[in-house]
A and B are shown apart, each in its own frame.
Chain A
Amino acid sequence: MNEAAITQSVLVIVKLFLLALIALFIVFSFIVIRQVQLMTRVLTVPISPTLKTVAFGLVLYSVGIFIVAFIAL
């Protein structure tokens, strides 16, 4: 196995690792949405819509990173 093949295998492993990490982060971002829902249900505040928007933005951002990683790596 030459050096290029070893490098390529390592990069594939790194790619899979990154994709797994991003997938975990997507799950985490959905949990954050659920957390914001629970919190705003307990305590209704004027900035609740803003917090929900930020939480949803986090999900979109994480999905976006996954797509970029899938295509670019």
Chain B
Amino acid sequence: MTNLWWLFGGTLLAFVPVIWPFFPIVSALPERFLFVLTLLWCAFVLAFVFEEFLTWFFSVTIVTSERIIDIDFFGLLSKHVTVASITKVQDITYSQQGVFGAMFNFGDVIVQTASEIQTIECAKVPHPNRVVKILSELTSQKEQGDRE
């Protein structure tokens, strides 16, 4: 659901060559130019869709019984990795906004930590209430384990 914009956008963009004859500047070009332009346009659309898929697929938050690892990829070569110990987690909140968030049960989970990186934000997470519950249980278990 959260990827609809680029899926829909990519599908629409793929059909742009169909309406090229309606643009005088483009339709004035010889057929071989239009053919190459169409191939290039398809390549751009494929690259755009692939790029968006990669960013979505590899931007993850990994929760273990020891730590939380948040990996965010931005653009082509930028990445941001945050690692916080479960014992440093102080507050966990989530928010669901909008019609789509409520209908399809996704939202943002924000983890407040006592470390230098104060917040870990996980955007558009499915079933955020479950994530908060699991994190709360993990932090409680860790605290109890440390006390023993």
Contacts and interface: CB of A to CB of B under 8 A. Distances in A.
- Label chain A's interface by main secondary structure: helix
B77 A38 contact: yes
A54 B73 CA distance: 19
Contacts of A38: 77, 79
Nearest to A19: B36
A58 B77 contact: no
Interface string B62-82: 000000000101001101010
A6 interface: no
Contacts of B71: 42-43
Interface in B27-46: 29-30, 32-33, 35-37, 39-40, 43-44, 46
Interface residues of B, number: 25
Chain B interface mostly helix, strand, loop or mixed? helix
30 contacts: A11-B33, A14-B29, A15-B33, A18-B37, A22-B40, A25-B40, A25-B44, A25-B47, A28-B47, A29-B47, A31-B77, A32-B50, A38-B77, A39-B73, A39-B79, A42-B81, A43-B60, A43-B71, A51-B54, A58-B46, A61-B46, A62-B43, A65-B36, A65-B39, A68-B36, A69-B36, A69-B39, A69-B40, A72-B36, A73-B36
Interface of A: 11, 14-15, 18, 21-22, 25, 28-29, 31-32, 34-36, 38-39, 42-43, 45, 51, 54-55, 58, 61-62, 65, 68-69, 72-73
